[in-house]
Amino acid sequence: MARVALVTGGASGIGAACAHALREDGLTVVPTDRHGVPHVMDVTDEAAVEHSFDDIEAEFGPVAVLVTCAGTIIVPPDRRPLIADIVARDWDETFRVNTRGTFFAIRAMLRRRRAKPVTHARIVTISSAAGQTGGARGGADYAASKAAVLALTKQAAREAASLGLTVNSVAPGPIETPLYRSVNPIGADQAVVATVPLGRVGTPEEVAAAVRYLVSEAAAYVTGSVIDVNGGSRMQ
């Protein structure tokens, strides 16, 4: 029986690429999003996340793989927002989607796998290079929310280990997605590309390739780790 994979933010961008890649690998993939896919799930709604997991498991079986791609970024069109200028509403909304949403999904997954473990269970979060470096285009709200995702990933990895469930993260740099283009219009991202040694923006498929590995049976001894997919813009 094929493993069931739930992908949040699966309607476009990295989420859609991950859903496609995992489907190619033979998983039963259930992409979720606030709109645009058959399975609507708002990751910021605590009850909705729980109900969606229940509905999906009732229809497809236990979720073996969770990939958390749902995210947001709020940036003025003409400049990077400074800490002094970020309003509480934008800070809260960024954390509500990026951090609380990831937490709700991870918690729902851990609750169910604690009650009913499955083999080769995996959680992969999508964080960001911004959470590691402070970011180049987004504001402190985005960078801090993604840094929180990295910390949450490591804590979840420790707690899930006894279940045989691995938890890892992929930290993309600039990737050609609608979210990226919402703050970096075509033709206006020269400054971003200049920070990338490979000299280009990455593709969602390149991020999905890293997710593909972490989800695979071959990655059974990898947990609490972060794979950077950033064209060399951050080397450690």
Distance CA(7)–CA(148), nearest Å, equals 20
Here the tokens at position 36 are 């645009």
For the four alpha carbons of 62, 6, 228 and 158, in that order, the dihedral sign comes to: negative
The set of catalytic residues is 142
Q: How many CB atoms lie within 10 A of CB 220?
A: 12
Q: What is the DSSP string of 183-236?
A: HS-TT--HHHHTT-TT-S-B-HHHHHHHHHHHHSGGGTT--S-EEEESTTSS--
126 contacts 68 by C-beta, under 8 angstroms: yes
Name the helix (H) or strand (E) containing 115. Answer: helix 101-115
Rg (CA), the chain: 17
Phi/psi at 91 (5° precision): -60, -50
Q: Could you identify the residue written with the tokens 């780790």?
A: 225
Q: Establish how many alpha carbons lie within 13 A of residue 235's alpha carbon, considering only the half-sphere containing its beta carbon.
A: 6
Residue 163 is which amino acid? L
